[in-house]
Amino acid sequence: MKFDAVQLMRVAEELLKYCYLKGARNVKLAYDFGEERSFCALSAKDLVLSPEDEAWLRKVFAGPVQPEVANYYGSLAGRRREEPQMELVATMAELEDLGSEPGLGTRIVVSRREAEFRSARV
């Protein structure tokens, strides 16, 4: 299994935990693993984020992807029961889309570029 795919799943797990802690109980995750870039989309129809939460998420993901942090400390993601580690997983992926409105719920799309040199051969 590709390391980059594992990293994207860690990001998804933290997003899932974040939405659960915010009150979502109906959350769908979808993945698209590509050759160059992989995507993860989260949809929580029963959750509407406050403007502050939305701004916070955008701020957290505003920083650059940091492979030196993501690779080394990535395994710590998902370890805490009540502490989402969004700052950590934000170093692993880029925020492609974030929207939250009544009726439609919350959608978050993140992506991760393939970094493995050998990705085409594994």
Partner 1 sequence: MARILKGWAPGDSREPVPAESILLGGLVATLAAFSLFASGFDPVSLAVGLGRIVVQPDILINDYVGRSGLGPALMNSALCALAAVLALRWSRVTVSGPAIAAVFTIAGFSLFGKNVANIWPSALGVFLFSMVGRRPFSENIIVALFGTAMAPLFSEVAFGMGLPLPWNLAAGAAAGVAAGFVLSPIARNALDFHHGYNLYNIGFTAGLIGTVALSTLKAFGIELSESWTWAVLGPLPALPVMAGGFLAMIAGGMSADRGWFAAWRQLLGSGGRLPSDFVRSFGMGATLVNMGVMGLAASVFALAIGASWNGPIIGAILAVTGFAAFGKHPFNALPPMLGVLAVAALTRYGISAPASQLAAIFAATLAPISGGYGPVAGFFAGALHLVLVQVVGVLHGGINLYNNGFAGGITAGIMVPVLEWIREWRRHEV
Nearer to partner 1 by Cβ, of 34 and 63: the residue is: 63
**Applying CB under 8 A, which of residues 69, 98, 107, 114 lies at the interface with partner 1?**
69
36 binds partner 1 (CB under 8 A): no
CA Rg value for the chain:
14
The distance of closest approach from Cβ of residue 109 to partner 1 in the complex, given in angstroms and rounded to an integer, is 19
If one counts every other C-beta atom within 10 angstroms of the C-beta of residue 109, the result is 18
Structure tokens at 82: 């009540």
58 binds partner 1 (CB under 8 A): no
Q: Are 102 and 92 in contact (CB under 8 A)?
A: no
6 binds partner 1 (CB under 8 A): no
